């Protein structure tokens, strides 16, 4: 694991941080894709985990949720607006279901439905982080924000990599992954208003240049 902030680690992935899974104290943040099972369980070997909390319910973030909940015996948490997707009453990926990336994602990444033990709402606390509802990329997308040092585990509200080249760069999530891009842009501005000191995205390395992030947020169109 790589330590990124006090009490926060990113689980190892080879060749680099493409699909990020974080550990905040003893809370696992996100569950990767179904194909991430081996690397997640090997990284957690010997560690006590108290909770699995998702930033959102998409195939590359909920893929191992059922396995982690059942095999480690820990409760599963996600925002209440994503509970139906996690429990199988609504599609996990609602945007562009026929897009080739989404077809592949369903087949290769998506995990089985799983009961949610703790539905989250805006303002809840997880591992010392405040739950901030940031919808757009999914109905129940959240950011986990720690007030004292302003660290934000931000899921897919923004990414820090190109999906084509793998190179770092602050970007919006693609529209074909995002049911409501305009709402997601409002969520980006909401995140910027928190004035974070460090952003830990779902894809790509940490975002450390906060001036660049603030410029990016300010440049987005207002819908």
In the prediction, which pLDDT does 198 show? 98
- DSSP 8-state assignment for residue 177: G
Domain extent for 146: 2-219
In the prediction, which pLDDT does 166 show? 86
Residues of the chain with pLDDT under 70: none
Number of domains in the chain: 1
CA distances from 105 to 35, 126, 177, 186, 212 (A): 11, 28, 10, 26, 31
Check which CATH number belongs to the domain holding 102 and give it. Answer: 3.60.15.10
d(CA 153, CA 71): 25
In the prediction, which pLDDT does 164 show? 85
- Kindly give the residue spans of alpha helices, DSSP state H, lying in 127-209: 181-193
d(CA 5, CA 50): 20
In the prediction, which pLDDT does 16 show? 84
d(CA 154, CA 29): 10
Q: Identify the CA nearest to 154 among candidates 113, 116, 197, 112.
A: 197
* Predicted confidence (pLDDT) per residue in 123-143, tens digit: 999 999 999 999 999 999 999
pTM greater than 0.75: yes
* Predicted confidence (pLDDT) per residue in 39-53, tens digit: 999 999 999 999 999
């Amino acid at each position: 694991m790589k330590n990124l902030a006090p009490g926060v680690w990113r689980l190892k992935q080879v060749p680099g941080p493409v699909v990020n899974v974080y550990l905040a104290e003893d809370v696992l943040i996100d569950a990767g894709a179904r194909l991430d099972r081996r690397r997640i369980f090997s990284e957690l070997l010997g560690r006590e985990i108290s909770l699995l909390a998702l930033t959102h319910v998409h195939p590359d973030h909920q893929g191992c949720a059922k396995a982690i909940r059942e095999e480690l015996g820990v409760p599963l948490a996600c925002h209440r607006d994503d509970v139906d997707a996690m429990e199988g009453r609504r599609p996990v990926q609602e945007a562009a279901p026929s897009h080739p990336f989404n077809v592949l994602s369903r087949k290769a990444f998506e995990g089985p439905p799983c009961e949610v033990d703790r539905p989250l709402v805006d303002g809840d606390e997880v591992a010392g982080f405040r739950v901030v509802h940031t919808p757009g990329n999914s109905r129940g997308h959240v950011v986990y924000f720690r007030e004292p040092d302003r660290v934000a585990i931000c899921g897919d509200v923004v990414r820090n990599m190109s999906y084509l080249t793998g190179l770092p760069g602050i970007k919006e999530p693609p529209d074909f992954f995002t049911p409501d891009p305009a709402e997601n842009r409002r969520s980006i501005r909401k995140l910027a208003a928190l004035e974070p000191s460090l952003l830990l995205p779902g894809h790509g390395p940490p975002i450390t240049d906060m001036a660049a992030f603030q410029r990016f947020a300010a440049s987005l169109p207002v819908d």
